[in-house]
Each structure stands twice: as structure tokens, then as C-alpha cells.
Amino acid sequence: MFIYSVAVLLIVAVANGQDCHPDNGCCWLGGWCGSGATDDCVNGRWDYNVGCVPYHQDCCLPNTPPTDPPSPDPTSNTTAPLETDPPLPDCDIRNECCLVGGTCGDAAFDECPGGTWEYGLRCVPFTKTCCIGQITLPPPGPTTTRDPSITYPPLNLTDCGERPAMPALNPKIQIVGGETVVPHSWPWAVELRFDYFNWNDWRHHCTGTLIHPQYAITAGHCIAKSNADGIHQFRVVLGSHDQNNPDGLEVISELEQAFVHEDYSTSIPGSPNDIALLKLDEPVELSNRIGIACLPGYKDQVFSPTDNCWIAGWGETLGTSQQNVLTEAKLNITTNEECDYKWETGSGRVNLIKPEHICIGNGFPGACNGDSGGPLVCEKEGKWIVAGATSFGAAGCQSWNAPNVYTRVSYYIDWIREKMNQT
């Protein structure tokens, strides 16, 4: 993410009858910005990949995609600006596609002559997708078939919560403001991708945790607030690290079922029961890049500030580190009493934290948009146990005295087992 001068930030253009800041891709698409965790996206769905101004907010897009302006000439290396857009140089600093020699167009209707649509590069206007040509790209995406010439040391598949041999963990790295993880060092971290318009345009939506070769957990709001037509719009990517540069050894799994907790609600302070269980269409093969985290042993299992606990996710880094790669942070558990006090004194919200929540850190460093549903794991007797799934945090992702709030997985251990036994 780039930092702009005040003069640039004050530029405003008009789109869809609204005054739209040039960086507000949500506005250009006819949407509005709010909180995907606490607000309702009426007659629409939350798109966590479309930029908002301010940047910490989420984009609510209408269910019917807007009509785009005419596509630019695919043979040109510059993007034709909207008539109402401020004048742009040959390569606007925001136009990542142009900067790497690509052109912006409509991936659903336009051809990408001799090239590939690259969804990880930003275009101007933000409604467009980047066509990269005459550049050698990584393999076209994850597949379910592994290259037999590349082997990885197998794990003991009778055990959960084991990490492959990796360099020592660096406790200074952060999800917001730090560095990336050693690839596949958290083998149970999975991507949840969403096809927003049923155009086979798969975007990162949330993070999750693999707890069984055929089951993963994530946040309930990742499913319930998506306004998806069905589970066919979701898929899980396992063994991933860099979303923009897949190595071809990732595994894509469709969903057979998705269970959102029956009592999940955003009308109750704290949005309790924010958990979902995902059943993959078939079990995945475990290795040192795809593994499972241990579930808590019982409902009242205690996780304390002295435990060795980490969070991970592919969410927003606010421009302070490389985007679209898995990042991590070592944080201390915050007791529910202290967490509730900090949220009440900081935001005025009373009785926000419930027994089914578990809090970590102090707000910064911490999780951000796109980390929803991701793992909070703690080491117990040499095993990594999933203690929480990312639920919500303070707007801006960098607030002090506002600990990150996770769904306490141990509280739902009976519910998880019940759902797994039903299928």
C-alpha cells in the first residue's frame, strides 16, 4: 500500500452518482463502507477485497453488479480513466497493473490476448482486472494433483498440532506492521475464497483452521454475512503461502457442507457464536505443508497469558508489510475481564465480551480485515491447540486498549463434534 500526500488524498471524483475518493474502490462499484462484523449489508454482500476509504472499513456491494464503463484498448499499457476521473499519468501510482506492464479490462467479458488475468494487482479504475502479457508467470493456480517429482517429509498422521521443522519463531513479526511467515510453518492455516458474482472470479475472503483432514473452522460471519447463493461460491485452499505466486502444490477443495452456529447473531453485543464448521468435499492428504491443529480437550480448557500463543492470517497489513502472504504475530492472552474493561473504557460498549470469547493482545499488533476466522493457536505440552477463531477488533486494526476478540473454540467443542458426527 502506498502513502499519498494530503493533496492527493483530497482529490474526489464522481461515480454512480456519488462523490468517490480515488482510493475508494467500493464507492466506484456503487457500494458503501462499514463494518462487516457488526453492520448489515442490506440487499448486498460484504466484499473484503474491495478497498474502502477509510481503509479499515469493509465494502458492502449490491447483489447486482454495476455496469462498468467501456473497457480500455487491450493493446495499450495505460488505463483509460473515467471521464470524471482526475487526470492520470501514463502509470498512476495506484495502478499496479500498469506499473508492471499490464492493461486493465473486464475479466468476465474481455479477452486477455496472449496473457493471463492477474487478480492480485490493483487497477485504476478499481472495477477493472489486470491483464498481464509477455511475462512469465507462476503456474496458473493451485491444483489437486501433486508433482510426483517433489516430495515432502510426511508427518505422523496420528498426531495433530505438529509443525514441520522450521527456523526458530521470530516473536517480533506482526500481522499488521511486520514480516511474512516461513512458508508452511502454520500448516493448518487455510484460505477461504469466495466467487462474489458467480463469475469464477475467486478472491480471498477469510482465513480458517484445518482441524481434521476433511473439516476446517472459520468465523460464522464469513459465511452468514456473505449473501452467497450457496456453498458452491466458496472453496478452501490448503498448503498456500503467497496468494499472488502459487507454486502449484496447493490443494483446492470445494465445500460439501457449511455449518454456521444456529445462535450466531449480530444483534447481540459482541456478535456471540461467531463460528462455522466447513466440510470439504473429500479428505486431504496431510504432509509438512498441510496439517491439522488439535482441538481443545474439553469445554473449560484454560489458556492463560503465560501460554505461547500465535495468530496468523492473509488479511490486510495496512501497507506495512507484504500483502497477500501469510503473516503471524505472537501475542499474550488477555483475560475476559480485562478485555471487557478495556473495550468498555475505550469504546463505551458495555458487556461486549462473553464467556464464549477469548481475547488476545492489546489491539496492535493484531488481526485485520481478511484475517476473520483465522487461527489463534497455543502450545500445550508440545502440541499446538486451536484456542480461537478471529471474530472482531477495533476499527483501524491499530488501536490501543482494544484487544482482538476471537471465538473461544473450546466453548464449542461439543457443537463441533456433533456437526462432524452428523455428516
Give per-residue pLDDT as tens, 260-281.
999 998 888 888 999 999 999 9
- Cis upstream peptide for 365 (omega within 30°): yes
Residues 305 and 379 in one domain: yes
Distance CA 415, CA 307 (A): 25
Residues 187 and 300 in one domain: yes
pLDDT tens-digit series, residues 34-89: 877 667 788 788 776 666 766 557 788 887 544 443 444 444 333 333 333 333 33
Do residues 323 and 378 touch, judged by C-beta distance below 8 A? no
Q: What does the block give as the cell for 283?
A: 479428505
Residues 417 and 275 in one domain: yes
Strongest mean pLDDT among 166-180, 193-207, 282-296:
282-296
pLDDT of residue 237: 96
pLDDT score of 97 more than 80: no
Residue 161 belongs to some domain of the structure: no
Residues 87 and 229 in one domain: no
Domain end point (choices 114, 136, 158): 136
Q: Which member of 23, 274, 340, 371 is catalytic?
A: 274
pLDDT of residue 179: 53
* Window from 11-20, 32-41, 287-296 with minimum mean pLDDT: 11-20
In this structure, what CATH number is given to the domain that contains residue 245? Answer: 2.40.10.120
pLDDT of residue 234: 96
Residue 155 belongs to some domain of the structure: no
Name the β-bridge partners of 278: 216, 258
Residues 312 and 254 in one domain: yes
Active site residue 372: yes
Residues 132 and 38 in one domain: no
Distance CA 326, CA 403 (A): 21
Residues 280 and 329 in one domain: yes
Instruction: Using a pLDDT cut of 90, give the percent of the chain over it.
Output: 35
Residues 388 and 275 in one domain: yes
Active site residue 304: no
Residue 159 belongs to some domain of the structure: no
Q: Which member of 253, 287, 372, 391 is catalytic?
A: 372
Distance CA 277, CA 258 (A): 6
Residue 234 belongs to some domain of the structure: yes
Residue 191 belongs to some domain of the structure: yes
* Window from 98-107, 188-197, 308-317 with minimum mean pLDDT: 98-107
| DSSP3 helix / strand / coil % (the chain, rounded to 5) | 10, 25, 60
Q: What does the block give as the cell for 144?
A: 489437486
Residue 26 belongs to some domain of the structure: yes
Question: Cβ atoms within 10 A of the Cβ of 400, count?
Answer: 11
Q: Which member of 184, 204, 205, 221 is catalytic?
A: 221
pLDDT tens-digit series, residues 224-247: 988 888 999 999 999 998 888 888
Residue 360 belongs to some domain of the structure: yes
pLDDT of residue 251: 95
Q: For 95, how many CA atoms within 13 A lie in the half-sphere containing its CB?
A: 24
Residue 249 belongs to some domain of the structure: yes
Q: Report, as an integer, the average pLDDT of 126-155.
A: 45
pLDDT of residue 128: 74
Q: Report, as an integer, the average pLDDT of 88-101.
A: 63
pLDDT of residue 150: 37
Residue at grid coordinates 517433489: 150
Distance CA 68, CA 62 (A): 14
Question: What torsion do the CA atoms of 113, 118, 121, 125 make, to the nearest 10 degrees?
Answer: 50
Instruction: Using a pLDDT cut of 70, give the percent of the chain over it.
Output: 69
Residues 302 and 415 in one domain: yes
pLDDT of residue 120: 61
pLDDT score of 1 more than 50: no
Residues 130 and 232 in one domain: no
Residues 54 and 181 in one domain: no
Residues 25 and 88 in one domain: no
Which of 186, 272, 188 has the alpha carbon at shortest distance from 236? 188
Distance CA 236, CA 255 (A): 7
Distance CA 20, CA 13 (A): 5
Which of 238, 182, 209 has the alpha carbon at shortest distance from 375? 209
Active site residue 40: no
Strongest mean pLDDT among 4-13, 16-25, 27-36:
27-36
Number of domains present in the structure of the chain: 3
pLDDT of residue 246: 87
Q: What is the largest CA-CA distance in the chain?
A: 62
pLDDT band at 93 (very low <50, low <70, confident <90, very high): low
pLDDT of residue 178: 43
Structural domain range at position 101? 72-136
pLDDT of residue 152: 36
Decide which of 275 and 5 is more confident.
Answer: 275
pLDDT of residue 160: 92
